[in-house]
Structure 1
Amino acid sequence: METPGKEEISVEDEAVDKTIFKDCSNITFYRRQKQQLSKNNTYRALLDTVTTGEDSTKFQIINEVTKIPLLAEVYGVERNIFRLKINEKTPLKPRYEVPDVINKLNTVRLISCSGDTGSLILAGGERDLKCHIIANPFKIELISEEEVVISINSLSQLYFEHLQIPHKHRATTEKEERVSAGASQLKKRIKKGKESQEDLGLWEEKFGNFVDIKANGPTSIGLDFSLHGFEHLYGIPQHAESHRLKNTKDGDAYRLYNLDIYGYQIYSKTGIYGSVPYLLAHKLGRTIGIFWLNASETLVEVNTEPAVEYTFTQMGPTAAKQKVRPRTDVCWMSESGIIDVFLLTGPTPSDVFKQYSYLTGTQAMPPLFSLGYHQCRWNYEDEQDVKAVDAGFDEHDIPYDVMWLDIEHTEGKRYFIWDKKRFPNPKRMQELLRNKKRKLVVISDPHIKVDPDYSVYAKAKEQGFFVKNPEGGDFEGICWPGLSSYLDFTNPKVREWYSGLFAFSAYQESTDILFIWNDMNEPSVFKGPELTMQKNAIHHGGWEHRELHNTYGFYQQMATAEGLTQRSEGKERPFVLSRSFFSGSQKYGAVWTGDNMAEWSYLKISLPMLLTLSITGISFCGADVGGFIGNPEAELLVRWYQAGAYQPFFRGHATMNTKRREPWLLGEEHTRFIREAIRERYTLLPYLYSLFYCAHVASEPVMRPLWVEFPDELEAFDVEDEYMLGNALLVHPVTEPRTTMIDVFLPGPNETWYDSKTFAHWKGGCTVKIPVALETIPVFQRGGSVVPVKTTAGKSTGWMANSPFGLRVALSTKGSAMGELYLDDGHSFQYLHQKQFLHRKFSFCSSVLTNRCADEKGHYPSKCVVEQILVLGFRKKPTSVITHSSDGKDQPVAFTYCARTCALSLERLSLDVDADWEVHVR
């Protein structure tokens, strides 16, 4: 088998060296903007150019120095969304506008209202929303209920570098003279700032040994937004940072630029594997969002001015105190493209989630098996290794659903081709897993080994399917196979062809239990600038890589998901995990937080990282359990399994030079704790699957920061060491070594919270001290909720299809509770096309628990019964419990009651989950 040379492998170790990645001081478009914006940079709206069409209102804005006009367009979009686009009025050629991310939108006609001579007011949508355009200096205010919510360009940070013709091709048209004049002004400012044109990267930019030649010259854009009354901002993943966005300073902006950073630094604003240019702002009474649709390198500055009280001096003997609202200013800067921004006006967190998903899509409904536990390692050596690891789970009575194979399963890193020595009979191996009702995931990266005898390479080259270099040849770079070319997934024909590679006839020895992992798709290029592709590489349509870098992995995941769907003729749901992502990636599968380290600090930072992904549309997310790099101590590994068991994507993973760490290798006691955590995950699958259905149809995040569920509780706004799983469970993972006591904040003064194991209960709105042992997973159920569970955990999800349900009912202070259960076949699209699903609603009120249909459109026969019911917070011992079925039959039920914990337990029930029934507690 052919393997990469030592120099290629060692790149992984080199990646730890942060000097090979840029900070803001190395990013020339950032320095240019900061330098020029420090001077006078006024734009004026030309309101005499206003035209109103069916879809948008257009007008010109002009720079007072260069006199070059821009064209602004304001759209009203259904669901209380405003869209602002700013482009050159007459660009030398089209500028890049991000395709394929935004869904088809319905616009709302904006009506021009009376304004003064220097302004224009546009009204549309609901909730008395208005868009106030002020001419000089140019500014836009978004007004809701007579209050300014967002101001655009109030700090005069609008910045737009125009496309230019290279010097050797210069002509002398009026437009080009204006552009030249603008460039001349910039040169003067550069000179005053004692930086050369070369330093500021106007036509070429140097970093290390790399030179980025810019065919169009400088093309960056920028715009500021002032958020009135807001000081809590969240979003713009992916960074290994706190959930709440921090204030930045010069040279310290949040960077959105997808990079392969092995063992990334924590508490850093450096961009890592994915980019979602979308943030949310929240305050008491309102949530809003800003979605900056741009796929080039982007920087975001955040500056919060907190609320203050000051004395307002006036004539007379008294002075009035006036409170100044907080305000947060956000400045977006991108290297290229146009300004295309969506303002999501809320007003609730739920409204903003729905507005964003209307733009970019909801989370794909995952196959049920993908919510089980995944076992991965770089690398499981061969078929015997796979067989032994699979058997180890059964021998130690630990459930799992998916075995994963990394790059060593291929022949010399040639994707879609098995290594015949290590895996001589892949179908037999897959049948072994199928017989255990388990699945296989294998890796497929975007780089293709340069090898004329490799059919995938030969066919892609013949059809011109690779990214090109500026000279017109195929772009080549070093990655795991050695010299590689990179598929141009931005080309629809390439995506169609790539999708076809997953057909059973094309992917030899693959079966319908094989699913896919897209890795290294930032894209990672070992000897490229910042270990990625040169920005002047050329994609489909002649676009430079700089324009679309952050969407490269998005496109690969799209093509892969389509390929897996096509191979089943559209019948089966795909599962695709991708390391790189962009807005809209949620439509195609899952993501994870990349190459983390086996350290406590990385376990701790995983919580805010996953919360940030969750609120920006990507619910199916997780972090590698145990840490990918290094050898976790036993306590850390146990705690990581406990945390992962309550997170959406649950995978153990480790790099090849670490010690083996399958769950049974740590000694009997630690194995027992891990087994308990994984089994708890499996019993919780009905609740988790129901949450994913809500994410799919109603845009509700599966994993939620406390402020989402408790938007009016200030103390919840900064919490990131605990979270809500749905609206019913509060999870506080233990993330510090040798912990014996933790402080848990239980929100909601009117809430009741129950310890999921001891049944102890507390009134909300306080912090409580909880003793913890190594086996303790601090999870609390919210009063007023019903959580459906499985009463037993099987070997995998496939073994649990017909196993009984239990209901965990936690009563509110009013003695009531509600919950839902969603059920379908767990793998097909029949829930969508044939309405083959079951959606039930459980309600406990006036001592009666009822099961009713929540959606009459769905029909799915189930053999499952509700076998157990646990009611927490029932204040007195019942005299009797009776079940009442829809056919009128009453049956007495045996029960046990614990007065100390106020817990009522009903066992040995046999209530059909798909039928209406009642349980009367008397």
Structure 2
Amino acid sequence: MAAFPQRMAPILTLWLAVCLSGALAVERANFKTCDQSAFCKRQRALNPGQSPYRALLETMELTNSRLTLQLKNDKNKVRLLLELYRLQGNITRVKINELKPLKPRYEVPDVLIREPPTEPLSLLSQDANGVVLSLGAESQRVIVSALPFRLDIMEGRDVLLSLNSRGLLAFEHLRIRKDTFSYLITGTLASVWNNVKSVFSRQADRETEEANLEDEAMLDEKDEEGMWDETFKSFTDTKPNGPTAVGLDFSLPGVEHVYGIPEHADSLRLKTTDNGDPYRLYNLDVFQYELDNPMALYGSVPVMLAHNAQRTTGMFWLNAAETWVDISSNTAGKGSSETPQTDVRWFSESGIIDVFIMLGPTPKDVFSQYASLTGTQAFPLLAALAYHQCRWNYNDQEDVLSVDAGFDEHDIPYDFIWLDIEHTDGKRYFTWDTNKFPTPKEMLQGLMDKKRKMVTIVDPHIKVDSSYKIHNEIKSQGFYTKNKDGGDYEGWCWPGSAGYPDFTREDMRAWWASMFAYDQYEGSMENLYTWNDMNEPSIFNGPEITMHKDSKHGEWEHRDLHNLYGFYVQKATAEGLIQRSGGVERPFVLTRAFFAGSQRYGAVWTGDNAAEWSHLKISIPMCLSMGLVGIAFCGADVGGFFKSPSSELLVRWYQTGAYQPFFRAHAHLDTTRREPWLFGPENTALIREVVRQRYSLLPYWYQQFYHTYHTGHPVMRPLWVEYPQDPATYTLEDEFLIGRDLLVHPVTEEGATGVTAYLPGKEEVWFDVHTFQKHNGGQNLYIPVTMSSIPVFQRGGSIIPRKLRVRRSSSCMEHDPYTLYVALSHQRAAEGELYIDDGHTFNFEKREFIHRRLSFANNNLSSVNLAPEAHFSTLSTIERIVMVGATRPTKATLKTADGQMSQLEFDFDASMSVLTLRKPGMNAGTDWTVMLQ
């Protein structure tokens, strides 16, 4: 502490005390409520009713793909410009901006993967009340009503979605502050000019008259508290552009269930907010967050899905400023004749209204539509889907080697070991503490010899130190974010005084990426990957523990783009890891802060959770919510970051985490050590078993990520995604699907002796993967459990590949054989896939992979090539086929691609109807057929 200025010592001392204690809950007073956010309070004060906006139909212009017309606020006479586009893939885009703003308003860059391609719009009818446009799709149309302005999207006679149906469109136009010289001059000139015009022209045209009225109305507008500056606690936010908030309401007839808008530690189905705060989207470092409330957390994805048995639709509100979302519902009870409806209202502090309405109609259509806008989940290294071991902090090289050896000693596989901030030289990122890690390359080489990898943390707060190369280069090139007065912005974080690179700058991101080169990041090697933490950005002495909104990124204020900061940090880091290999190797980057489109750059975790049963439970809906909005690679800290778990909680968390996409154990500096072998032999065996289950299923996990990379469909998904017409699935959040074919119901209750799982699909059959017991779908099934139990079921009609020879890491299993688990449907059929590539390069984009369809029908099991134009070879064979729900054959014959026939050995368990074909031995990348007689 002696090195820190005396005035800052209490701040850092308090922060460190709180963090190291791990005993306090979130300090709510550090974070705003809606009533403490001036623009939220203003927007929420508006009541539904007559909208002041009318559409000026005489200004309408319609091209092949774009409608524009002006909206006029009859109270202040300000005009807005509405643009409407029909986009490819059944998406409608609506943009609303000021017609003539005093200066440009912020429009979010870099999130869309391209300018979305459009489809034709055509005019169906027009009269004094409005216009009707065809959306191209059969019976879909848009109705624009003039007075008051309203926009309805219809299909046949049904309203799918309405904009401004409650009259809550609110657009705070840019204006000049009344107590400034500029305002006085503007008002005087306007008065003089009007007098001059009255002398020279008694007949002013209508447009000029309206312009005069607009000037007068704007000058007469009253300022309210918080419009030009706002104080929260000891922080004053200056607002040189004044009030800039935008808001719009949407109505969803027939809808009772909405989902999405992560990140919140809340239920999967979003709750109504009539009696509390709206959901907040504002990336924040929230210490030991509370559960079941709409407070903002580390990331923000402004995407919501609405679902009923007939249709799924989505809304993407493209705005990176602080945003709040209100939800209200008139959900009708049973027997009511009233049509249920959900009303959603979005409002953001600045920017424009830019909303994409994704019209489905199926859940998977919405996923694909959103992916067409912001991209799909980056295809990860296969090893990244394996197990990660982390804590804050492994002390030194000897500690790392000891932990590494412990996994071998206890026969538990792992792929990545992680180092937190203490591995650096005084929290200077891209460096090593030379006392604790004197030979990092030697350490990394030792891991590489075992085909294992390491992750080090690289945070975006840069220690202000003239002897630190990274700081000097950022400062000399002017790459730091600026404060409101134009100097380099400084805040306080782990290193003490820190600067914050302006990642919104492309040249800054390019420089940052270059720092990951092996000759720049000393001690790094090809098996070293990256973790971006604290990138909300977290600033201990900032308002709400983050950056001042009036700090500057070039011409833009931080308020305009706050939620993009973490997105840009991860983007620059991922690009750096790609560039260091010459574009050959896939990166792995974990981020805490995120936005729409972050899925393109790596993985996300749910932040600083706690070793409590409630946090274990909430990890499921939190990751499900992320998957619904494109972020498929999600996980939670196994065991809980804060506090120390009981052995029961730790085992149950491993069992849950092993079936979530990102599988990492992590722990706070102040917690007791919790490597898997420290809780007694019995618990070690339980953890070993479930980690091995994860490794055996890696072929299936990898295949699912290959699909999400191409489609945007979530890997870990709610049951309603696959069973959209089954209302029993709509609120389930204690179980989930991996792809279509594995259903998981983790045990998340302390002392549980049983769980009740819902098995969907009345025509389906499900098989317990551990016992092969058969259960019909469409029922709630009570399952007795012991500490070794994790209920997992395979859908009848599916084929899942596994590798049962589990080794010390996934890379060690590369050439090992496969076992195919064939679960038959009621119709005695099944289908699945097998995907293989090198697991770590971008060569799959060059068609270097194997992709095969596996199918069983008419007593024949076959493998056929799904990608005949692709080329890749594998040494792996099929060493076993397990058919569940089978009957005993008289013989089994293998026919290979070259036409050779051979008889196969088999066993049949009549009590469980399980047929096992042993050692068929065919290459996994070739055509073959197994014929049963």
Common topology (TM > 0.5): yes
What CA distance in whole angstroms lies between the structure 1 residues aligned with 2:280 and 2:868?
A: 47
Instruction: Give the direction of change, closer, same or farther, for the CA distance of 1:663–1:215 in structure 2 (3 Å limit).
Output: same
Mapped contact 2:322–2:348 kept (Cα < 8 A) = yes
Aligned partner (choices 850, 853, 860) of residue 848 of structure 1: 860
* Aligned match of 2:204: none
Give CA-to-partner distance per residue, 1:143-192, whole Å, 9 cap, x none: 123321001000000001011223312122667984773575555xxxxx
What CA distance in whole angstroms lies between the structure 1 residues aligned with 2:334 and 2:54?
A: 34
Instruction: Give the direction of change, closer, same or farther, for the CA distance of 1:901–1:179 in structure 2 (3 Å limit).
Output: farther
Mapped contact 1:379–1:405 kept (Cα < 8 A) = yes
* Aligned match of 1:317: none
Alignment of 1:261 with 2:286, yes or no, is yes
Give CA-to-partner distance per residue, 1:215-256, whole Å, 9 cap, x none: 111110100000111111000000000000111115420000
What CA distance in whole angstroms lies between the structure 2 residues aligned with 1:680 and 1:380?
A: 26
In structure 1, what residue type is equivalent to 2:327? V
Mapped contact 2:48–2:166 kept (Cα < 8 A) = no
Q: CA deviation at 1:127?
A: 3.5
In structure 1, what residue type is equivalent to 2:263? Q
* Aligned match of 2:876: 864
* Aligned match of 1:109: 120
Mapped contact 2:172–2:244 kept (Cα < 8 A) = yes
Give CA-to-partner distance per residue, 1:84-137, whole Å, 9 cap, x none: 000000000000000000122111121111133211112133233211101011
Give CA-to-partner distance per residue, 1:609-640, whole Å, 9 cap, x none: 00000010000010000000000000000000
Alignment of 1:738 with 2:751, yes or no, is yes
Aligned partner (choices 56, 81, 91) of residue 71 of structure 1: 81
Alignment of 1:220 with 2:245, yes or no, is yes
What CA distance in whole angstroms lies between the structure 2 residues aligned with 1:896 and 1:277?
A: 54
* Aligned match of 2:9: none
* Aligned match of 2:450: 436
* Aligned match of 1:247: 272
Mapped contact 1:24–1:251 kept (Cα < 8 A) = no
In structure 2, what residue type is equivalent to 1:73? E
* Aligned match of 1:701: 714
What CA distance in whole angstroms lies between the structure 2 residues aligned with 1:8 and 1:815?
A: 62
Q: Percent identity, aligned pairs only?
A: 50
What CA distance in whole angstroms lies between the structure 1 residues aligned with 2:496 and 2:213?
A: 48
Alignment of 1:647 with 2:660, yes or no, is yes
Pairing of 1:742-761 with structure 2 (within 5 A): 742-761=755-774
What CA distance in whole angstroms lies between the structure 2 residues aligned with 1:38 and 1:125?
A: 32
Pairing of 1:647-666 with structure 2 (within 5 A): 647-666=660-679
* Aligned match of 1:343: 357
| TM, length-normalised to structure 1 | 0.95
In structure 2, what residue type is equivalent to 1:100? D
SS of equivalent to 1:605: helix
Aligned partner (choices 373, 385, 403) of residue 399 of structure 2: 385
Alignment of 1:10 with 2:17, yes or no, is yes
Alignment of 1:888 with 2:899, yes or no, is yes
What CA distance in whole angstroms lies between the structure 2 residues aligned with 1:39 and 1:307?
A: 22
Q: CA deviation at 1:509?
A: 1.1
Structure 1 unmatched ranges of 5 or more: 188-196, 311-321
Pairing of 1:419-430 with structure 2 (within 5 A): 419-430=433-444
Aligned partner (choices 511, 533, 544) of residue 557 of structure 2: 544
Aligned partner (choices 465, 473, 480) of residue 451 of structure 1: 465
SS of equivalent to 1:701: coil
Mapped contact 1:36–1:186 kept (Cα < 8 A) = no
What CA distance in whole angstroms lies between the structure 1 residues aligned with 2:514 and 2:95?
A: 37
* Aligned match of 1:119: 130
SS of equivalent to 2:81: strand
Give CA-to-partner distance per residue, 1:847-891, whole Å, 9 cap, x none: 1110111122221100100101111111x3221111111212111
SS of equivalent to 1:73: strand
Mapped contact 1:79–1:125 kept (Cα < 8 A) = no
* Aligned match of 1:719: 732
Mapped contact 2:50–2:148 kept (Cα < 8 A) = no
Mapped contact 2:77–2:217 kept (Cα < 8 A) = no
Alignment of 1:406 with 2:420, yes or no, is yes
Pairing of 1:557-706 with structure 2 (within 5 A): 557-706=570-719
Alignment of 1:160 with 2:171, yes or no, is yes
What CA distance in whole angstroms lies between the structure 2 residues aligned with 1:388 and 1:146?
A: 68
Mapped contact 1:157–1:222 kept (Cα < 8 A) = yes
* Aligned match of 1:131: 142
Structure 1 stretch 485-494 or stretch 160-169: which is displaced more? Answer: 160-169
Give CA-to-partner distance per residue, 1:30-58, whole Å, 9 cap, x none: 11112244675421000000012344110
In structure 2, what residue type is equivalent to 1:784? G
Aligned partner (choices 774, 788, 806) of residue 793 of structure 1: 806
Instruction: Give the direction of change, closer, same or farther, for the CA distance of 1:823–1:2 in structure 2 (3 Å limit).
Output: farther
Q: CA deviation at 1:648?
A: 0.5
What CA distance in whole angstroms lies between the structure 2 residues aligned with 1:250 and 1:538?
A: 36
* Aligned match of 2:513: 499
Q: Alpha carbon RMSD of aligned pairs, Å? A: 1.6
What CA distance in whole angstroms lies between the structure 2 residues aligned with 1:511 and 1:2?
A: 36
Give CA-to-partner distance per residue, 1:243-276, whole Å, 9 cap, x none: 0011111542000000001210000100100000
What CA distance in whole angstroms lies between the structure 2 residues aligned with 1:182 and 1:226?
A: 30
Aligned partner (choices 461, 475, 489) of residue 461 of structure 1: 475
Mapped contact 1:884–1:890 kept (Cα < 8 A) = yes
SS of equivalent to 1:551: helix
Mapped contact 2:64–2:122 kept (Cα < 8 A) = no
Mapped contact 1:309–1:324 kept (Cα < 8 A) = no
* Aligned match of 2:45: 35
In structure 2, what residue type is equivalent to 1:377? R
Q: CA deviation at 1:15?
A: 7.7
| TM, length-normalised to structure 2 | 0.94
Structure 2 unmatched ranges of 5 or more: 5-11, 191-210
Mapped contact 1:162–1:179 kept (Cα < 8 A) = no
SS of equivalent to 1:905: strand
What CA distance in whole angstroms lies between the structure 2 residues aligned with 1:652 and 1:467?
A: 34
What CA distance in whole angstroms lies between the structure 2 residues aligned with 1:755 and 1:183?
A: 71
Alignment of 1:45 with 2:81, yes or no, is no
Structure 1 stretch 580-589 or stretch 906-915: which is displaced more? Answer: 906-915
Mapped contact 1:76–1:108 kept (Cα < 8 A) = yes
SS of equivalent to 1:427: helix
In structure 2, what residue type is equivalent to 1:9? L
What CA distance in whole angstroms lies between the structure 2 residues aligned with 1:244 and 1:858?
A: 41
What CA distance in whole angstroms lies between the structure 1 residues aligned with 2:256 and 2:914?
A: 42
